[in-house]
Structure 1
Amino acid sequence: MRQHQHQHQRFPPLALLRQPAPSRPRRLHRPQLAPPSAGSILGIPMASEAASGLRLRKLSAILVAFATVVPPSAAAAADVQAAREHFDRGYALAQSGAFETAIEEFTLAYAASPNFSVLFNLGQAYGASGRAVQAAATLRRYLEIGGSNIDAEQRRRTSELIASYQRRVGRIELSSLPSGAHVSLDGEELGTAPFPTALEANAGRHALLVQAAGYAPAHGVVVVVAGETSKPQLALRAEGESWLMIGCELPDVAVVVDGQRVAQTPVVDPLKLSSGEHLVTLSRAGYVTFERKMVWRGDETQRLDCDLQSSAAASDLAGLAVRHPIGTTVQVDGRTFAGGRIPAGSHQVTVAGSGFEPASQRVELRPGQLLSVVIAPRRDASTLTRERQQRSRNQKLASYLVGAGAVLTGGAAAVIAVTNAPRYDDWRNKSDAFTRQFQQAPESTTSGQLEQLLQEENAIRNRDAAALGLGIAGVTLAATSAVLYFTAGQGAPALTVTPKGTAIVGYGAAF
């Protein structure tokens, strides 16, 4: 049986992108492959690391690939050929940056002929597309299925990749769901309730869907933070029921349905109604009453946002000023507020902004009153963590740079000291010879000889002084580097107030 040759193609692990290219690129061996044996799957032998690597181009390392063999049957040959074609297309797509399409091709390649090597490529494509959960899971399967066919170095490198992807993963904890409820994230089925543990998800914003028998589908949005657990709350509503949701930041607004008062804002939970037409009225003293006819046809949830306009006379108005952190905005009863006069009564004041946790406060205003309040929301926990980590990284980077300066300075001092030693020995020999010559035959010595010795002595002393100075500087830089490194902790938050009275949040840092 004739043996075929096929060059291994490899796709670089993203974790190794920063590695420099080798000085002399090597070429892959074209191994001679034996006929199918117990060590192969559908005619494709288990892949192993090639002894040499590819020239590094856009991506930096290598990719495990298919090997061509003589298939045991015509059907198997067709499967192997189809797998190879899908793999080659996936490899080319991955090299061009089209990772999503590459994922599809690698998946088809593995389905046609399940060689564990493809899983490494598939996991890397998942990781490059930002799908860390799938990347880590696929690489674990690669290690599990590959077993002893994966050498120690490749196994170590793959384990490091899994750990790096795992650091990008957050979790979603779903509780109080009906047994058997189907949960989907961004259109992908996650499983059915109950879930014994929190579900892993890629960091970012995701669309959540819960479907259960006897309930209307519940949609929601969940924001997943790497290393943290999100706990979204989705309220499942029984099928065939009509619900009204009231969106109103203005407090103390009466909600009247068909002449019957059913709630007062703030209204958190949806209001259950019968199917058909209803007249919904929103009213509050000092505001124009709002009415709307709404029709429910069963198994439906509708939302009504109130936008009440003030009807208060000038004598019924009050003044409100809100002091808040720089970078935040103020809303009063759901509307942006820049200060001024508003109707007397109860109002909900909210201060929010990027990187801050929203803070709310209810105020009671009397007609003609002028009120000033201070609302300083806390910084968002994830923002604080990122800022502290960035400050710590910057300080450690500074310590590395200072440490490098210490090494260079100390090295220069050592070089000067070492090279100065033979100069001193040479000068001492010349000085001894001059002294003996002067003692034996003074008339044979000249002032030029003495001047030359003095100049050489001064040069040696100057070099010694330079070495000493550089040595002291190196020790000082090393001590500074150590202090910077070991004090690169997380700064303690502190609230400061500008002369204008506007609160801002800063940090008491270690540097």
Structure 2
Amino acid sequence: MMRVEGALRRVAAVTLSAVALCAASAAHAQGAGTSNESERAKMLFGSGAQAYASGQFSAAIQAFSEANRILPRPAIAYSLAQAHRRQYFLDKNKAHLELAISGFRAYIEQVPDGGRRADAAQALSELEPILARMGETSPARGEPKEPAKEPARLMITTQPSGAVFTIDGKDRKQAPYAVEVAAGKHRVHASLEGYFDEEREVLAVDRTLVPIPIELRERPARLRVTGPNGCDIFVDGRPVGTIPQSEPLELASGSHLVVVTKNGYKAFSQDIDFRRNEPKTVSVALEPTGQRIVARSLLISGGALVLAGGVFSVLALNRQSAALDIPDAQRQGNVSPEDARDYNDAKDARDRWRTGALLAFSVGGAALATGLMFYLFDRPTVLPPRARPEDRRTRPSSPSSPSSPSSPSPAMEPMEMSMVPLVGPSFGGAALTGRF
């Protein structure tokens, strides 16, 4: 249990040292105007911390030493001493033991109180007896001997971590990793599932650890939407194309709101999760809206009424023609009483057919106009997707608080229209009402 606690303390020491380094280097950059050197020291320290965490203590020593040379800080010195300490227990090189003791003592001298003094004192209580048993004098009375010079190294780190990389097509390793190389130019190739491969040329310097941070670009997910031709596709509120698509849509991984709309149909709306480099196909079957069904019914019935009005008009003209034939015959003096009755019946039939035609044309025209308006203004209403539990937790509790720009806008109220036929003894028509 004590060994586990000690290991945890050592890992915490490196983490806290990294935080202290960032703060100290920022202050140094502002005071001395050496921002470039400060950034290089932070990069070296970060590479050393990753090497330390992966058990590459020799590479960590190399990185911490260079960082401490550029930007001397107690936090870096403490981490360097820790790396020497761990390396000593691996290779039993006395020089690492001496440098570890010297580094911990220097840290205690530089930090009067607080910090990692307790951990440094505990490390000294562990290391000094080991050196004493070797019969050597205390490092405080003389400078310790430097270990052998380190080779050229490339410290490969990737964002995200875990990528596989090669140096000049060889030495397949998983980042983060420090690779010993010959001084000079080298080609680094990094790859990770779901990301684009990255390749770059780097320069290794003799007896120096060179940090090589590589940021991998995410491969987008691909979305293909199938459905009725002419549908509009929206992703997260932005128009991105129509059906049929010429090629799949490329989307960043994560959750996206996919909406498919077409005039006269209920909108399709779905929140879909995408993973990196994942192909997905969404098949959409849209249902006609109630307004579109009413519009079609009005157009069909209106057309039928207009057609009936035409038929009634023909019949009215026919009866009128028959009625006109009788006065022509009367002028010639050969009209019987039966012909007079036929004349009156034809006039009455003509008036009835004419009234029916006018009524059919009026109601049919109103139905056609209303149906056409319903048809043309049947825009889809897009409702926001049902909120997820995590979305409800982050939603403001106050109803009066302003909404976030990223939150879905409220659905637009649908248009409502209605028509009431009006029929009287001598007229016909319709009253049209609507709400927008």
For normalisation by structure 1, the TM-score amounts to 0.24
More helix by share: 2
Indicate the structure (1 or 2) with the bigger Cα radius of gyration: 2
For normalisation by structure 2, the TM-score amounts to 0.27
Per chain length, whose mean CA-contact separation is higher, i.e. which structure has more relative contact order (CA < 8 Å, sep 6+)?
2
